[in-house]
Amino acid sequence: MDRTERSSRPSPVPTEPAYPEGVPLALERAIELAVDRKARDIVLMDLRPVSDATDFFLIMSGTSELHARSVAEHVLEELRKEGVRADHVEGMRGGRWVLLDYIDFVIHVFHPAAREFYQLERLWGDAPLFRIEG
């Protein structure tokens, strides 16, 4: 095949963003902030087809309780500086599972053991899942 011809196989490098259409700008910013703080195993779940409670879950892990808290605090503070305030925050003191509720999306920052225990990705297994590369 000529180098200028396109293969019928899908490209291994995505040409689209790693998340679905309709993601709020504040959530896109939260993803950037999480990547900046070296959050691990970041996934975005589109709950719109399966739930009325919220539109998206952004799930990630820290490497420790301190790292999980640091990631959550960074996202919370930077979004607040940009005029986006969380409606509810839980777990910041402990750092095993920090929840930042922005109504249209909820951010979950886990210690790896807590993430494995609660398995939100399996619990909401019917929701489309998008892996975010860091």
CB 127 within 8 A of CB 50: yes
The pLDDT tens digits for 122-132 are 999 899 999 99
Q: Which two tokens stand for residue 24?
A: 């709020």
Residues 6+ apart with CB under 8 A from 117: none
What local confidence, expressed as pLDDT, does residue 22 receive?
Answer: 87
The pLDDT tens digits for 47-56 are 999 999 999 9
Distance separating alpha carbons of residues 92 and 18, to the nearest angstrom: 28
Mean pLDDT of 47-75: 96
Q: Is the pLDDT of residue 9 over 60?
A: no
The model's pTM is 0.85
Residues facing 56 on adjacent strands? 46, 105
What local confidence, expressed as pLDDT, does residue 8 receive?
Answer: 44
What local confidence, expressed as pLDDT, does residue 21 receive?
Answer: 85
What local confidence, expressed as pLDDT, does residue 133 receive?
Answer: 83
Q: Is the pLDDT of residue 96 over 60?
A: yes
Distance separating alpha carbons of residues 57 and 55, to the nearest angstrom: 7
Please state, rounded to an integer, the average pLDDT across all residues of the chain. 87
What is the Cα Rg of the chain in Å? 16
Strands 56-61 and 105-110: parallel
pLDDT-wise least confident of 2-16, 42-56, 63-77: 2-16
Mean pLDDT of 95-111: 97
Which domains are delineated in the chain?
25-132 (3.30.460.10)
